[in-house]
Every structure is written in C-alpha cells, then in structure tokens.
Amino acid sequence: EQSGPVAGGPQVRVALIQTRLSRQRIEQVMTSRGNSEKWRDSVCDWCVGSRFVFGEESVSLRLCDTLEQALQRPDPRLTLVELLLHRVPTISRTTATEFVNAYLQHVGLRSQGSGPAAGLVGLCFRIAMLDRQRDELCSFVELLERTPRAHEAPPAVRLVAWCVYMMNARNHWDISLAALWAKRRMFVDQVNFPFELGEENAGGTYSFGPTFSWAGDPTSLRDLVDAVKRGHSVDWADVHRKVWAVEHIKDSELFAQLLSSSRNPAMILQQVLPANLCSLLRLSNTPAPTAVQLARIILRHAPHQCEGTVDRPRCLALWTLVLHDRRLSEPLDILRLVGGAQALVEALLWARDWATDRRVTVSPGPRARLLQQLLVLACVQDQLPVSNAQIALLWTGSFGRLLPAA
C-alpha cells in the first residue's frame, strides 16, 4: 500500500509492504546459515504451527538458532514453554505448555515429564500441521480479521471454527473434535488468542463468558488509540452504548489513526452509526487525504448491509475515491475495491441521487473519464445483469452529461 502526504505535512510518500515469514523462506535462511539439517524440519514445523495458532508476531528468523539449541537439550519442554511465553506474552502458561507438548509429540521428542496434548490447543497444533508443507491457509488471527463477527462468538467456538476451516480446506477430519469440545478448559476473551485457564469448563451455556477489557475513558479517541496500540481488549459495543450512540465522532484524523492501528477495524466500524461515518468522509469535515484513507478502510472492512437510503458509508466511500484518490485511475481497480458488480451498481445509483459533493481535488478531466468508464463497466459486466431501467437511471440525472462522450 502507498499512502499520500498527510494534510498540512511535507510531500512525502510512504510505501507499506506487508510480508509473511513462510516455511520456504525459513528453510532458505537455515540452509544459508549452515544450521543442522537434522533439526530443519522440526524448526520449520514450530514456526508454521506457531504462526497458524498465535499469529505472525510469534515467529521470526532469529528463532531458528534458539529453537535448534533448545531441541538439542535432553528435555527441551520447559525451555520451549518459556520461549513461547516470551514471544506471545498474552497467552497463559496452560496454553504454552499444551502447545509445546503437542509439538514435542509431533517431532517425536515427548519427554517423560510432559502430559498428553489432549485439549483444544493441542488440537489446534495438530490441525496446523495439515498445512505444514504448503503453509498458505489463514492463521487463527487472520481468520478473525477476515470474519469480524466471529468475535461475537465465545473464544472456544472461534477456535473450533478455525479448526473446521483448516480441516475442510485440506479435506482431513479429526474425529477427536467432539470429545475435545466436551472437556475443554475455560477461556477468557481478549485480542487475538484467548487466555486459557487451568480449570475445565464443565458444561453450561456459552452465549457469554469472562473477558479482559480496557477500563479507560471511552469518550477520548486519543485514549482509545493508545489502548489499541498497546493491545488492550476494548469492548466496542460498550463504547457505542456509552458514547458513539449519543455523540458523533468528530476528529477524522484520530478516527483514521484508530482504525489503522486496530487489528480488526471491522469490529469498530460495526459500532459507529452510518450517519457518523458519512459525516467523517465529507470534505467539509475532513482533509481529502484522510477522507481517502477512511474510504479505503470502510470499503475493506465496513458491513455490506445498510438499511439507510441517504447515509450509506460504503457508497459514499466509493464516491470519495472517485473524486479524490490519486492512486486510482482504472475502473477494474475500483470494482475490486468496492467488492463486486452488485456493490458497484448500487454505489453508482446512490451517487446519482445522493452524492452532493461534486468537487474534485485531482484533475477533473481524468476523474470525469474514470466515472464514464465506471458507468460503462457497470452496464456491460456479466457478473450481474443490469436492467434497462437501471441503465436509464445510471445515464440520466446528474450523470446524464457524461452520456454523449461515453
């Protein structure tokens, strides 16, 4: 991703390159460093399993030498537990111990003091090993990011959902899933992987449960940004009830910073009123670069369902990009951003009637041509048939002047 210059700041462009530490890359590095071939597969399996279960932050290339040294010990269990807790300090010792036990069983180094990996965490490791060679499916953390409503389910349900996703993708089913569900331990909800307690969860309802939650001032956007950056679990539904339902967010710069800092911006966007999101996108309240930043986040993460007629954040987000995003010049790029043909047609029909802002902050000629191309694309694409009535609507009204040149 490339970000434009901050409003009022120097004309500096920043490229953000997101990468992932793959098994192939780890093997290349270990080969070039001369690490023992005996432990390469074991080290790679740890990194793959840890990434799948706990996320990208749990692995690094510097771990290779440390893991190799630990595996050479007569009993590496305690060393590996401490190593995992150091890399992922938000998980419990119970979780770390079970993950290590499952790993040692997998590589054939189960020590005399280790117990069986018979819980959900052990299952998660075994499921992760289904993709140990390809290393291309979504981790548990990535699945949460792509399915924001998963956070409405209890932690144990989310873990099982990820296991089912992995098993379905690799067409391999673990018959112990039901038995493990019956004797799972209790979890406390938090950001990313839940905190596992020692005692077993003996039946009962799972529509609610304990959670770690930030107890700061929800009226302060700056405090919320700080909490998210520090990895605190914020109850966004509670923030909505106490603040956002009665008082609109006004600081677009801080709100953009909050969304950019969050691991799951969709959870935040679900709790902001559509009218508030639309007001933050309008240039009367927001500098154009910030509006573009918000628009891209909204198109990627905001809910698709919106019952309103006028206040439709995703539609206004697309219109914002058409008017102000210097990086966008191809209609197919916008089609991908908006989420398909149906969303494009809906957004253009909305813009025809309700997009009051017609000013552009880039060259107006190319913007007019881009809008023409979008209208043509909406009419001729074959994913979603467009009726004659819809075509007539698209090329009349405020867009009618574009028809002769199209």
pLDDT in tens, 292-333: 999 999 999 988 887 778 999 999 999 999 999 999 889 999
pLDDT in tens, 107-159: 998 755 555 567 889 999 999 999 999 999 999 999 988 887 787 788 888 99
pLDDT at 84 over 70: yes
CA 268 remoteness from chain centre: 12
In this prediction, what percent of the chain has a pLDDT beyond 90? 59
Taking residue 78's Cβ as centre, other Cβ atoms within 10 Å add up to 15
Degrees (nearest 5) of the Cα angle 40, 41, 45?
A: 120
User: What's the whole-number average pLDDT of the chain?
Assistant: 87
Q: What is the pLDDT of residue 65?
A: 94
> Residue range 339-363: average pLDDT?
89
pLDDT in tens, 359-373: 888 889 999 999 999
